[in-house]
Every structure is written in C-alpha cells, then in structure tokens.
Structure 1
C-alpha cells in the first residue's frame, strides 16, 4: 500500500508538471489530470474515509472542499427574483428586456461554465494533498522529485531558447516563442516553478548542516552538488526573461540562506532577520520607484497604445464596486474587462486575466471570497511562524518560502491557475502543515508542582 501510494504520488506529480502548464490552452490535458484526480480521491475516500479530514493536513483538505463547493454554488440556477437582486446584474436584465424575453433562471456567476471549471480546477491539488495525508516517509523524497523536475524544466527551456520559432519543444501554440518556458505557456510560470524549487534544494542540505556538522568531510561533496544545483536553477531564473521572477530571486535566496543558518544554529538569527528586512525594504523601494513590472507592456502591436499591468489593474479595479459584495462569479473577468474598455483605447491584446490574481479574485468572488482567502492567509501565517521557530522543521520552512514566492508572484501574474503550480503549492502547504510545532518550554515552578 505504501509503495503504491508513493508511485501514484510521484507519477501524478510528473503528469501535472508535464501536462498542466497552461490554464486555458491545455484544455484536454487539464481534463485528463482532473479525471485522474477524481480516481485518486475516490480510491482514498473509500479506503480512508473521514480520516482524510483529520490530522495536520485536514485543514488543507477542508480549504479545498470549501473552494469547490463555493465555486459549484456559483453555477446553480437561481430564480429571477434572486439573481436580479445581486449587484451588477442590471445589464443582463436589460438585455432580456430589450429582446422581449421573460427573465430565465440564471446562476450567481454570470458565466456558470467558468464556475464549473473553477470547481474542477481544485481537483489536482486536492488529490495531491489526499495522497500525502498518509504519505509516510516517502513524502520526504518529494524535494528530490521537485528538484529533478525543475532541472528537466530548466534544460527544456535552454533547448527551447537555442532552437527556432518552429521548434517542436514548445508545448503550446500561444507561448513566448524564443524564450525559456519549459513545460509552461509563458516565462513567468517557468520562473515561479524554479523559484519554488529553490527552497527545497536548500532543504536537501538540512541533514548535512544540522548541528553544525558543516566541516564533516564526507558531507562536503553533497553540499557542493546542492550548491551547484541551486546556482543553476537561480541562474535560469535570472536569464529566463521574467522581471518579477528576477525581482523575487534575491528575497528567496535570502530566506534560503536563513534556512541554512537556522539548520546550523538551531535558531533564527536576529542579525539575519535584520539584514533581510533592510535588504527587502531597499529592494521594495527600488522596485516601486522604477515601476519596471507595472510599466512592462503586455502588447506591442505597431501603431497602438501598449497595455501594461498598471492599466489592466486600474480597469479591473474600476469594475469591482459594481459587483460588490457578491462578486461577478468565476470565469467572468474576460467579458467584463472587454465590456468596460474604452472603445477608442482598445488594443488587440487578449486580456485573459488581470495579471493580479488577488484583484481578479475580489472581482469574481466578492466578500465571501475575501473571507475564504483571509482564512487561508491566517492559517499560512500561523504555520509559518511555527515552522521558523522549530529547529527540525526544515521542510516546513521550505514550504513557507515556496508559498511566499508564489503569493508574491501572484501580485503581477496568475501562476497558481496552472495545474502544475497548483500541485506544487499543495505539496509546499503539506510540508508547512505537517511539521511539528515548537514545544513550549517547561516552567521550573510548574515542573516542581507536578513533581510535588
């Protein structure tokens, strides 16, 4: 049973990486991953039952199920008296009135198909968490698997960049031709994968570093190999073409150094924390001052005004108030964005997402989505503090750094919407969840009273 679970976990992770590199372009591939996820969940539910929702990973399973139920409810048809009372539905009501049609039943989401797609998208990460509920020791091998897949993605990206525009190594028709995209459709998602793999490479050094055994001669070759691997993956991020990936490389590396320092000393160094805080503050000021990511054009058609992230964010933010507090529903960003563009400023750029997942989430889910996201952030913050205070929680610290990189990259992109990144995030969250919390120090007086 343990070996079967291990094989299923590794094979499913590899399948998600290879097939799950695009949220929209890989329709059939994503459908195959979702079918596999249903089979995995059905088998595990039959064998483990309610135990899937207990233990340290129970909260993750509950978050996943809540998201699925929330998205599915948005696709349920509602009577005209209900859906017309939701904010922002007046335009749909007027359309039926102008056509001379009676108001039909309509769902909470203005795009019920998009809501169903959102509900199905959570299946791959949910299946991976379920596989790890009783993962046992094999789950400790996952950092090795992640590192191997990251190296394969990096090598594939190098081969893509070295080839021609017609290279068969690109997986998707709509992609960043001539760039290092690996298994993905664009360079930003490739950068997210490599960034998230870096803390797991650093965590592989933990058994060598813990307890100050750095000078053990037998362990030096392993450290050198891991250092070279880290340098290769970091170098791929630096030259990959993702500006936000490059901006996040320094903070991720600083926290990986903090992981190593914590493994060596058994505690978080205050000097390191102060240095990281100063460097991150300086980097944030420089990034905000330059506005490199905000000003990066997403379209470069001759003779037209380019579309930047800043423009997209402003247009999206302008739509949000009309649909609060209910939200417009999953899958509605594209039509709403096009409807609210100024006709004389439209470009040929297809805005498939807001390039800020939090802003798009607020538009589509409203207050309920904000509360669900806030609950996850609260869980994440508590677990992050716990693993950084626990000397033996190296994989938990790696999970915290990997998820932090993903959440920061989501400020300017939408990486978690791909099955590959979503499953990697699920693995990172399982490590964050299952590492032990720090044991409270015994109070001498309390100890004496217990003995007495």
Structure 2
C-alpha cells in the first residue's frame, strides 16, 4: 500500500514537473529575438507620437532584430500567408507614395492644397515640386512606425507547432508585467513611477501614456488568458493559473478608469461565460443551479465592491456622464475629410490640417491632436485609399478567422480574433494603434489568427 502511494506521489510530481517544463519551453517557440523585441517594444513603445526618441529606439531595435534574422527571411516570406504579405506591402506603399515629390501642376490640383500653394507662393516657391502629403516629415515618421510590427511578422515562426500558443502566453506574461508595474504606480507618491506625464492620477497606466491603451491591453491579455486556458498549454495544473490571470487582467482594465476598456470587457467575459455554460451542460440540474446562485452572489459582491472601493468606484462614476468633446471633433473631422477627399492630406498630418477646419464654437483650450476615431483620422490622412486598405485588412482577417472555425486550434484563433475585434471597436472612439507597443501586440494577434491552415478539430472540444 505504502509502495503504491509512493509511486502515485512520484507520478504526480513528475507530471507537475513536465507541465512546468512545457510552460517554460513554450516562449522558446517564438525565438529569442522575437521575444526580446516584443518585450522592448512593450516597455518603451507605449507613449505614442509625442515620444519620438522612445519610438526611434524601438524602430532601431526592430531593424536590428530583422538584420540579425536576415538568413531566415527567405523562409519567413515563403511561409507567410500570401494575403498577409500583400496587405503589409500595401500598408508601406501607401505612405511611401504620399512622400514622392510631384510636379507643381499636379500637386496644386489636389483637393485641399490651396493654403499650401499660397504659403509657397509667398516665399517664391510656387513652382517647387511637392509631395501629396502636406508634411512629408510626419508621413515618413508614420511609415517608420510600421517597422516594428513588420519585424514581428517577419520574425514570427510561421507554421511552427506551438507558436500561436506561445504568442498568447507572451501576452499573458506582458499582462502580468503591466499589472505589477501599474500597481506599484498607484502606491508611489506623486506619480513618481509613471514613465510618462499623466493628466489624472489614481489610474493604472502601466507602461502606457494613455489609460485607454492600458485598459485595452488588459482586455486583450484577458482574451489571451482565455485562449491559453483552452490550448495545449492548459494542463490541469496550469489551467487555474490562466483563469486566475484573466481575473487579474479584468481588474486591471477597471483600474485604468477607461470606460471603453471596461465596456469591452463584455466581449471576453461573454466568451468565458459561454465556455462555462457548455461545461455546465455536462452536469445535472442541481449543479447548474448551484453555479447560477454562486454567479449571482459573486456579481452582487462585485457590485458592492465597486460602490465601497474608491478606485473601482471612480470607474463606475465615469459612466454617470458620457459627455465629452469627441462628437464636436468628429463633426469637424468630416469637414476635413471632405476638403482633402479622395487623396487625403498625408499620414500623420491630422495635427497640421485639423485646426483649419475646427469650428469656432468647438475650439478647445488645448489642441485636438487626434480625431479620437481612427477611421475618421485615416479618412482625413489617406482618403479613399486608406479606407479601402482598412476594409481589405478587415475582410481578409474575417475570412481567415471564419475558415479556421473547424481548426483544432480554433480556441486560440478565437481568442486572438476577439482581442483584435476589441482594438477595432475602441478605434471608433480612440486611437489604440497610434503607439508602437499596441502595434506589436496587434501584429502578434494577426499572426495567431492567420498562422495556421484549417485542420479538423474535435467537435466536443471547448
């Protein structure tokens, strides 16, 4: 009897050791260079366009990573989906064409160039060649911002077994890193640990300058945790870790005080609820009733916590009024779109052209540096061609995700797709992809979504 018990304990210990070894080896599926670049971009690239030096460091690191991996590029390009490669090329080609100098007769005939033409005439340069972009320097910077995500896609081990799961695990690890750093910030005096100046203290920013971006990242990390909990990484010993991580990330999103991110939590939480409901279907009515009662009690406890805790209550109170200046900015953005349509003013030039179209009754004390709607901003800066490119990305990704619904790795693809959907949704009221860190995270999500060919899966898998 004692011998059997000893063997059982030894077997369990070996099983646990094997599970831990599997978890430790998983990140290695992505490669050291990709891991290093992702961590560096996440830590240094969350500030946005105002922090040019940090962005430049991320871009230099991306170029260095690509240079290091040049011998593998031929294989990477060969393994990368053709549609993805075409979309990436078009994404670089758009700003590149916007900075090509044009003859005077051509660029002066473009819509919205009257002020530029008048300004050049005042300094005797009316016959100068000028690009489509009204500020080619900003457009060049916008193109350079795509370099890190290009590096992520080129360095991703396309078709390698376990790469998608490892990518989700990487996002989970980054989620813990952001939460830990953000928690320290909340307790530090006078925002001493915040890497960027903050307008409102008491929010969990982590490595981001914008609390909406930090909140959105926690939502994506929650999606990644759900996907990892349903993947090959989720051994019985590790599954509670992933679900627990998801709970921490949901708390982190709320602590950012971001209304949009808190609302977007409904998407991954709905997925988690659907998974739980499918699992409960295997049990009897009494078990389902007990779980339902426990869920109601938990929701009540959470509601009470929101009212009693000042930090959580701050997020709830922000939903009491949804009024801000976004609708006024959107209205004036439509005027800018009409003025520069169909070619646009040049990527990155919103800050230059928007003040001309800003209505006097809507003028703010500070400058509106963004349209707070990425689709409107793209329409201003890239016109019909930018909108078509965004639509092409959306349609192609939707087709690839739909094709993977019977893939044995569908839970991983589904989690990445919901995370990317959250980015697309927040882009309606903010600008989540205007920083290097989120661009790289989006690149990882795209790789997870499209990196596998469909293969039949077990219909009973959850």
TM value normalised by structure 2: 0.78
Query: Is 1:47 equivalent to 2:72 in the alignment?
Result: yes
Matched, 1:428 2:445: yes
* Aligned-CA RMSD value: 2.9
- For the Cα contact (< 8 Å) 2:73–2:154, is it kept in 1? no
**Cα drift, residue 397 of structure 1:** 1.2
**Over residues 38-67 of structure 1, what are the superposed CA-to-partner deviations in whole Å (9 max), with x where a residue is unaligned?**
222234344332x43333544333322221
Q: Distance in 2 between matches of 1:207 and 1:264?
A: 19
Rounded Cα–Cα distance in structure 1 between residues aligned with 2:319 and 2:377:
21
CA distance in 2, matches of 1:423, 1:263: 34
C-alpha distance in 1, partners of 2:122/2:274?
63
Secondary structure of the structure 2 residue equivalent to 1:110 = coil
Rounded Cα–Cα distance in structure 1 between residues aligned with 2:42 and 2:166:
17
Aligned to 1:31: 56
* Alpha-carbon contact 2:407-2:455 (below 8 Å) kept: yes
1:3 Cα deviation from its structure 2 partner? 6.2
Distance 1:32 1:201, change over 3 A: same
Tell me the alpha carbon deviations over residues 229-265 of structure 1, each in whole angstroms, 9 at most, x when there is no partner.
Answer: 2111111212321000111111221134446778999
From 163, 167, 172, the equivalent of 2:196 is 172
Alpha carbons 2:346, 2:382 under 8 Å: kept: yes
Q: Is the aligned partner of 1:415 residue 2:436?
A: no
Report the CA distance shift for 1:32/1:93 in structure 2 as closer, same or farther (over 3 A).
same
Q: SS of 1:413's equivalent?
A: coil
Map 1:28-427 → 2, pairs under 5 A: 28-49=53-74, 51-134=75-158, 136-137=160-161, 139=163, 140-165=165-190, 167-173=191-197, 175-207=199-231, 219=236, 221-258=237-274, 295-297=322-324, 308-343=325-360, 345-427=362-444
Q: Is the 8 A contact 2:66 2:151 kept in 1?
A: yes
| C-alpha contact 2:231 2:409 (8 A) present in aligned 1 | no
**Which residue of 1 is the match for residue 284 of structure 2?**
none
| TM-score using structure 1 length | 0.80
Contact 1:192 1:245 in 2 (8 A): yes
- 1:195-230, CA deviations, whole angstroms, 9 ceiling, x for partnerless residues? 1111110122214799xxxxxxx82x5333322221
Q: What SS is found at the alignment partner of 2:79?
A: coil
- Aligned counterparts of 1:132 and 1:323: Cα–Cα separation in 2: 38
2-structure distance, mates of 1:160, 1:313: 33
2:370 and 2:449 map into 1 onto residues whose CA distance is 29
Cα contact 2:211–2:258 (8 A) shared by 1: yes
Measure the CA separation in 1 of the matches of 2:254 and 2:451. Answer: 32
Greater mean deviation of Cα atoms: 358-367 or 134-143: 134-143
How many residues align? The count is 396
**Distance of 1:77 and 1:16 partners within structure 2:** 32
Q: Cα–Cα, structure 1 residues 136 and 260, in superposed 2: closer, same or farther, change >3 Å?
A: farther
Contact 2:30–2:157 at 8 Å: present in 1 too? no
| CA apart distance, 1:403 | 0.5
Q: Distance in 1 between matches of 2:30 and 2:398?
A: 30
- Asked if 2 retains the 8 angstrom alpha-carbon contact of 1:20 and 1:420, the reply is yes
CA contact (8 A) 2:182 2:204 kept: yes
Question: Which is worse superposed, 103-112 or 341-350?
Answer: 341-350
8 A Cα contact 2:49 2:434, kept in partner: no
Cα deviation 1:392-430 (Å, max 9, x = unaligned):
322211111110011101111111111111111111111
> How many angstroms apart in 2 are the aligned matches of 1:58 and 1:261?
38
**Equivalent residues of 1:327, 1:365 under 8 A apart:** yes
Q: Is the 8 A contact 1:87 1:323 kept in 2?
A: yes
Q: What is the rounded CA distance, in whole Å, between the counterparts of 1:98 and 1:151 in structure 2?
A: 56
In 1, distance between residues paired with 2:268 and 2:28? 33
Q: Give 1:69 shift.
A: 2.0
Q: Aligned equivalents of 2:179 and 2:141: distance in 1?
A: 30
Inter-partner Cα distance in structure 2 for 1:129 and 1:93: 40
